[in-house]
Structure 1
């Protein structure tokens, strides 16, 4: 308890120093109460997510200020989410990161401009479809502090399509893709389209994760012999389904889970529910896996598997409203052929 008291004292002092003149009319009792509540919440956050900052350190004070910014941001984001199924925002494992740190660490995907989809819409689609119900979607993974989302989305699609084809579902090596996909930059970012093109051209066999485990850092490529067992990507498609999300639903049902690149800036604070607002498609910098959809309720939505672990979102999943290209979910959509 003593550590918490010291923390509160340090933060109240810091708060007094940075309090703007416009706000000085607020009573000292109110200010002290607000800071105490905030400090206790921060201490609870530190315990929950095992943060070990030194008391009185510059880093602790900086993290606390980022935490306060996050709490203000949550209130703003939640003000848009008034419907029962709307997205909710709050404290999670990213609440002590600045928005810039979050982007630099976790939003590292890039994409080429995909051609508009010009195929036919599939008629008679089910109102609800989820590849998880077919036992062909692997558990949620955690990329950790490595910008490898692009590799997780591609490998997720490949291993699901492999299982859809009749093979046993097996987690394939993300680390192999991070280390060996030479056009990409490992933990510093990459493109799902470039990755799929590399897999198609080189005929690299993706090996099981158990043979090439994930390390959350870029390493030296481990090559395997041609006789080694593995999964080969024969081809892929990448299209823009903006304005054609029903056709994208058809692709999902027909081809399997889809690797997409989205704008996930507001996902730093996401806790659950269906995202419908404040998620534009101007800066798509995060790759994820669309595994299903549900149009049976008032708000139709995509079911999206992320790679930030099961403590984020709804046990690692996020739901995006269908229609309007929310979060740019339809801008760059890749399907895999094995």
Structure 2
């Protein structure tokens, strides 16, 4: 994966004070069997996902047309996926959305550029690595019908590296970032780097999700006092990792999960397997969290946590091929930008918190 779009990597330090991913939840394996067999029809889809529109209404007819388009589209996508590990595409909970609706609802992240990474590669990397094995990756969340992927990505990386530093893993508030990151547009989209800039400049401390729960809509910012427990970003730097996936692996292993921005247009129909083709929009549009990689086997791949719930993809995860010039001159559009967040903890504040 060389040229094209760069990898953007952000390295941050944080000040830690005392710290006290719209549809029915359908079993993904059962759904795949029922909806992606030889007799796929709109009635089966409606039975599984219970969409809220009346039969034979104008919306019903429109959704039926989108569903028919989806069945034709995933058949085309599957024609490229002939190897055993290749990605598979089919009917899922997004199948009654037009491609424009899907983009407008779910693909609302904006990319930022940064200087080329100039560090050294890390030697002796393991053939496979997964931060989930260290119990520092929170469960898959569901952003629902809100373009908040950028906030989920930043918060996911923050809470993981907070746990890597020795604290208990706890889901931090995505809604807080959604409501309060004034440089971004809430459910209408945002930038990971702008969110980090906001955290750095304001010293806002992210509170647990239990104190500021997710609502899947932009709300009024809820302010907390400076003495409130939480995690604050102290500083960060950004780097471009274009064509340096091995170096990116090293940063992942040494410092923690990567908050990445990808071209996810073809993910509307994704069911599982390793994505090796289909960079179709030629731009980055969706924020995710890279938690590991696996280079064992014929197709090396990144392990990426999404924010569309556990019924999507590989129980909420997507696998993306490492290297191989996957998408021609847009070879990095599947994994074009990565925001790397590394947190260094000030132990003193754990023992003697600020009394503000």
TM-score by length of 1: 0.86
Note if contact 1:148-1:186 (Cα within 8 Å) is conserved in structure 2: yes
CA distance in 2, matches of 1:239, 1:88: 33
Match of 2:111 in 1: 111
**Largest Rg, 1 or 2:** 1
Match of 2:339 among 329, 333, 338: 333
Contact 2:320 2:334 in 1 (8 A): no
Whether contact under 8 Å (1:149, 1:287) holds in the other structure is yes
The DSSP-based 3-state class of the residue aligned with 2:289 is: strand
Query: Take 1:281 and 1:131, find their aligned partners in 2: how far apart are those partners?
Result: 30
**Residue of structure 2 equivalent to 1:317:** 317
Q: SS of 2:136's equivalent? A: coil
Shift in Å, 1:280: 5.2
Counterpart residue number, 1:276: 276
After superposition, give the CA deviation of every residue in 1:293-315 in whole Å (9 maximum; x if it has no partner). 00011100000000000011010
Query: Which stretch of structure 1 is more off in the superposition, 159-168 or 280-289?
Result: 280-289
Which aligned segments of 4 or more residues in structure 1 are displaced greater than 4 angstroms? none
The superposition leaves residues 155-214 of structure 1 with CA deviations (integer Å, 9 ceiling, x where unpaired) of 000000000000000000000000000000000000001101111121110000000000
1:210 aligned to 2:248? no
SS at match of 2:333: helix
CA contact (8 A) 1:111 1:332 kept: no
Please give the alpha-carbon distance, in whole angstroms, between the structure 1 residues aligned to 2:267 and 2:120.
32
Q: What is the TM-score normalised by the length of structure 2?
A: 0.82
Match of 2:222 in 1: 222
In structure 2, what is the Cα distance between the partners aligned to 1:90 and 1:277?
15
Aligned with 2:221: secondary structure?
Answer: coil
**Secondary structure in 1 aligned to 2:129?**
strand
Q: Give CA deviations for 1:275-303 in whole Å, capped at 9, x if unaligned.
A: 00012572101000000000011100000
Cα distance in 2, alignment partners of residues 235 and 127 from structure 1: 32
Q: How far does the alpha carbon of each residue in 1:53-112 deviate from its partner, in whole angstroms, 9 at most, with x for none?
A: 212100000000000000000010000000000000000010000000000000000022
1:96 maps to what in 2?
Answer: 96
Larger strand proportion, structure 1 or 2? 2
Aligned to 1:28: none
RMSD over aligned CA atoms reads 1.4
Would you say the 8 A contact 2:200–2:233 is kept in 1?
yes
Rounded Cα–Cα distance in structure 2 between residues aligned with 1:249 and 1:105: 31
> Matched residues in 1 for 2:41 and 2:334: separation?
34
Structure 2 segments unaligned to the other structure (5+ residues): 1-37, 326-330, 345-356
